[in-house]
């Protein structure tokens, strides 16, 4: 037996009727936002008569504050038409579908507009009028569509029920008999939550893009953490390591009574490996390594460095380290170049000048007579914002060291910017 | 008809053509690493012919090596060349810099692909000496990076760190780092003012200043054009080479 549940009013949510129907059977097909079709086979033990089953359906909908009407019949076509046509509960005995549909208006069949208009021009008003047309005549005028139309009008089924997929939930909760304190016992318990959660994700071809962790504490509060690694993962070991590293940095304030892990599913990563290009780093291992370096990256002291588009010396930004696919640079190795080893901040220096050039330098860690120098090289910029203006000198000291000095023309002070090495 | 190995051997011209094709497709010794390849026998080259000649091809993987020399002897220039060579082939490199001396502009000029370089910098401070525990944190970070196996080369820059500061580290630090790295395909490199440590299979490169080059006699418009250094390598029999570093092209 099949059931149809229809709401003549606008529903609070699109899946409101689906939720009611899934309380009875998982084989549910949504036919638009206000109509669902239920496969009720095998429910005879719980509801011995169709009347009881139909009443239970209406009561379940009413308990969710939904105004509905229901129909139970042995064909899906009859159920879909009757559920929309008649208020309350309609039950059609086996074989009585055509008779039940006969008095209903033709519009309930949801035919194509041009077909319905043609039938109205023929003088047909009810489904019964269509049932009574001779099948040979319909076939002669409509072709194969004619007999199909007549079977449809008599409430006979074609095709199969296509159940709507049940939305997957990627959430696991573990209630603990005894509260746990410390990360070591928690590591084992996390495995019991994360392993089935990751297995469920993988079974559905998904990975977790992020993981929300709610730790219910003994004092009644909830310690919430959300982890979002550089790449999605379905590896419980990786997630456990990431969670433990995160909890090391952000420990809960009390013993843990309940663990809830919630994954945000995302399609599994598909990578076309190349034979000739370098292998990409494993995203899981990279995420794990970066989590272990959390102390550095959290303070902005670690990551990928990016040069800023400015002439201001020492302008750069440090961001998240997330190397993309390798693209080997063409050409050979660049030649050896002198590099600056920067002092941050530059060291204030005392410089003795002779004939306009530095002759002696004294700064913390740097002191000596200048044996050779090059300069001054003036530069300035950012006059519209934080203006800077300086004269640069490269100086060699008596001890053999080579340093870059600059005279800040705005502050009128000398600084050692760094070593040249 | 399928081409078999025996038919290739019988026709040397065909085999040569196949080898040429593979070479063209970068399957030569210096090619980027291939997936699943055991690369521990392949060294990490600096891309500088004289220095790679001293190192028998480059820095050994799975070992702790060191580069040391006085200020302005070219140590940092060589490290940037090594990082440039590594990152330009598509591999990853890491630099742990407890004194925060790394200059990204110099690295960019040296050809380092900055997107493939992980830089961990020490805390900023007015003092020249590193913050207490900064060196210990740096060596722990090096162990994490080396143990991950993600990086082709991991550099720990200790140049400018005084002997007193360095001796605060546990004596077993370098042995632990060598043990960490020896199961991986990573080359671990220390940069320092003087000898610190290198592993049983590692190399030690010693830099000595040989002179500076200027564009003109003293006066306005003069430029520093480069510096020269002598690089020595080897455990017992020292080999050396003269190298030049360009300052302004």
Of A206-210, B34-38, B73-77, the poorest mean pLDDT is in B34-38
Cα–Cα distance, A408 to A248 (Å, whole number): 45
Average pLDDT over residues B145-155: 92
Phi, psi at residue B64, to the nearest 5°? -90, 125
Residue in chain A closest to B117 (alpha carbons) equals A304
For an interface test with B, the pick among A318, A333, A370 (most B C-beta atoms closer than 10 Å) comes out as A333
Look at A301 and B109 and tell me if their CB atoms are within 8 Å. Answer: no
Looking at residue B26, its pLDDT comes to: 54
Q: Check whether residue A350 and residue A382 sit in a common domain.
A: yes
pLDDT on residue B24: 62
A 338-397 residues inside an 8 A Cβ radius of B: 338-345, 357, 364-365, 372-375, 394, 396
Q: Say if A161 falls within a structural domain.
A: no
**CATH number of the CATH domain containing A199:** 3.30.1490.100
3-state secondary structure of A392: strand
* Mean pLDDT score of chain B: 84
Q: Do A104 and A134 fall within a single domain?
A: yes
Parent domain of A411: 340-420
How many independent structural domains does chain A possess? 3
Check whether residue A213 and residue A249 sit in a common domain.
yes
Question: What's the CATH number where A24 sits?
Answer: 3.30.70.270
Residues in Cβ contact with A54 at an 8 Å cutoff, skipping those fewer than 6 apart: A3, A70, A71, A72, A89, A91
Give the model's pLDDT for residue B8: 47
Q: Which of A227, A225, A223, A226 is nearest to A258 (CA)?
A: A223
Residues A112 and A179 in one domain: no
Q: A83-127, pLDDT tens digit by residue? A: 999 999 999 998 899 999 999 998 888 888 888 898 899 899 999
Checking if the pLDDT of A259 tops 80, the result is: yes
Q: Which strand ranges, in their side-by-side order, compose the sheet holding A35-39?
A: A28-30, A35-39, A2-6, A69-73, A89-91
Mutate: best of B33, B105, B117, partner A, most A CBs <10 A: B105
For A326, nearest residue in chain B (alpha carbons): B90
Q: State the smallest CA–CA distance between residue B164 and chain A in angstroms.
A: 15
A59 falls within a domain: yes
Domain map of chain B by residue range? 49-205
Residues A144 and A188 in one domain: no
Does any domain span residue A147?
yes
The pLDDT of residue B239 is 82
Judged by average pLDDT, the poorest of A39-43, B25-29, B80-84, B124-128 is B25-29
Lowest mean pLDDT among A70-79, A324-333, B23-32: B23-32
DSSP letter string over B148-183? Answer: H---SEEEEE-TT--HHHHTTS-TTHHHHHHHHHTT
A420 CB neighbours in chain B (<8 A) are 72, 224, 227, 247
Q: Does A239 share its domain with A366? A: no
Is residue A30 within 8 angstroms of chain B, CB to CB? no
Determine contact: A272 vs chain B, CB below 8 A: no
- Pairwise CA distance, residues A391 & A132, whole Å: 103
d(CA B190, CA B82): 13
The ipTM is 0.84
CB within 8 Å: B25 and A329: no
Taking an 8 Å cut-off on Cβ atoms, the answer to whether B100 and A344 are in contact is yes
Specify whether A15 is located in the same domain as A142.
yes
**Would A306 be classed as within a structural domain?**
no
Domain identity same for A27 and A146: yes
Of A186, A267, A199, residue with least CA distance to A225? A186
Is residue A278 included in any domain, yes or no? no
pLDDT of residue A80 exceeding 50: yes
User: Are residue A55 and residue A16 in the same domain, yes or no?
Assistant: yes
- Please give the model's pTM, rounded to 2 decimal places: 0.69
Which residues in chain B are closer than 8 Å to A306, comparing Cβ atoms?
A: 104, 114-115
| A29 shares its domain with A110 | yes
pLDDT for the residue numbered A276: 56
**DSSP string spanning A350-389?**
EEEEETTEEEEEEETTEEEEEEEEEEEEEEEE-TTSS-EE
- Asked if residue A122 and residue A216 are part of one domain, the reply reads no
**Rg (Cα) of chain A, in Å, rounded?**
38
Taking domain B49-205, whether its CATH number is 3.40.50.720 is answered by: no
Which whole number is the average pLDDT over B150-176?
A: 92
Upstream peptide bond of A345 is cis (omega within 30 degrees of 0): yes
Q: Which helix (H) or strand (E) holds A110?
A: none
Instruction: Tell me the backbone φ, ψ of residue B54, rounded to 5 degrees.
Output: -65, -35
Inter-chain residue contact A301 with B81, CB threshold 8 Å: no
Residues in chain B with CB shorter than 8 Å from the CB of A396 are 72, 212
Cα separation, B173 vs B152, in Å, equals 21
């Amino acid at each position: 037996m099949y059931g149809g549940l229809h709401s003549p009013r606008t529903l609070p949510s699109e899946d409101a009727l689906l939720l009611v129907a899934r309380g009875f059977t998982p084989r549910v097909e949504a036919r638009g936002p206000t109509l669902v079709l239920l496969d009720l086979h095998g429910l005879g033990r719980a509801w011995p008569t169709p009347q009881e089953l139909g009443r239970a359906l209406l009561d379940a909908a009413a308990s969710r504050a939904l105004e509905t009407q229901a129909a139970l019949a042995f064909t899906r076509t009859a159920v879909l038409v009757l559920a929309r046509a008649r208020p309350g509960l309609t039950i059609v005995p086996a074989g009585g579908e055509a008779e039940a549909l006969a008095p209903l208006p033709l519009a309930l069949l949801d035919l194509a507009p041009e077909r319905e208009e043609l039938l109205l021009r023929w003088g047909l008003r009810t489904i019964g009028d269509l049932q009574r047309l001779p099948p040979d005549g319909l076939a002669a005028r409509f072709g194969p569509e004619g007999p199909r139309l007549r079977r449809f009008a008599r409430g006979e089924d074609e095709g199969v029920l296509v159940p709507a997929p049940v939305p997957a939930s990627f959430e696991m909760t573990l209630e603990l008999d005894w509260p746990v304190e410390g990360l070591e016992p928690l590591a084992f318990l996390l495995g019991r939550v994360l392993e089935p959660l990751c297995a469920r994700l993988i079974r559905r071809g998904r990975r977790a893009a992020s993981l929300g962790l709610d730790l219910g504490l003994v004092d009644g509060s909830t310690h919430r953490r959300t982890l979002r690694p550089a790449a999605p993962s379905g590896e419980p070991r990786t997630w456990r390591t990431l969670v433990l590293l995160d909890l090391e940095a952000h420990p809960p304030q009390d013993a843990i009574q309940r663990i809830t892990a919630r994954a945000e599913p995302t399609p599994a990563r598909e990578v076309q490996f190349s034979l000739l290009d370098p292998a990409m780093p494993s995203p899981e291992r990279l995420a794990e390594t970066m989590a272990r370096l959390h102390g550095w990256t959290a303070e902005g002291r670690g990551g990928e460095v990016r040069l800023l588009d400015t002439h201001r010396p020492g302008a750069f930004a440090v961001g998240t380290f997330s190397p993309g696919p390798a693209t080997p640079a063409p050409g050979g190795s660049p030649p050896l170049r002198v590099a600056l080893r920067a002092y941050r901040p530059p060291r204030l220096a005392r410089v003795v000048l002779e004939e306009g050039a530095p002759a002696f330098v004294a700064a913390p860690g740097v002191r000596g007579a200048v044996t050779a120098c090059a300069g001054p090289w003036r530069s300035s910029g950012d006059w519209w914002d934080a203006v800077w203006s300086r004269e640069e000198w490269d100086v060699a000291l008596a001890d053999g060291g080579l340093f870059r000095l600059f005279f800040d023309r705005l502050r009128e002070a000398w600084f050692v910017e760094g070593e040249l090495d | 008809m399928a081409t078999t190995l025996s038919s290739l051997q019988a026709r040397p011209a065909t085999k040569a053509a196949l080898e040429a094709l593979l070479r063209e497709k970068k399957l030569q010794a210096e090619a980027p690493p291939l997936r699943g390849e055991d690369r521990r026998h392949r060294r990490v080259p600096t891309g500088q012919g004289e220095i790679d000649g001293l190192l028998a091809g480059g820095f050994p993987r799975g070992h702790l090596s060191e580069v040391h020399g006085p200020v302005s002897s070219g140590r940092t220039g060589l490290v940037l060349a090594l990082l440039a060579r590594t990152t330009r082939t598509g591999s990853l490199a890491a630099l742990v810099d407890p004194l925060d001396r790394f200059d990204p502009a110099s690295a960019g000029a040296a050809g380092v692909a900055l997107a493939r370089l992980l830089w961990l910098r020490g805390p900023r401070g007015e003092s020249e000496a590193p913050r207490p525990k900064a060196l210990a944190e740096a060596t722990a970070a090096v162990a994490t990076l080396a143990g991950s196996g993600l990086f082709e080369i991991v550099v720990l820059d200790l140049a400018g760190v005084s002997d007193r500061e360095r001796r605060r580290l546990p004596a077993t630090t370098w042995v632990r780092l060598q043990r960490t790295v020896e199961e991986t395909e990573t080359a671990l490199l220390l940069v320092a003012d003087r000898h610190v440590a290198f592993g049983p299979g590692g190399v030690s490169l010693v830099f000595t200043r040989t002179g500076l080059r200027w564009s003109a006699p003293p006066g306005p418009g003069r430029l520093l054009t480069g510096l020269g250094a002598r690089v020595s390598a080897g455990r017992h029999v020292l080999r050396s080479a003269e190298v030049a570093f360009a300052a302004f092209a």
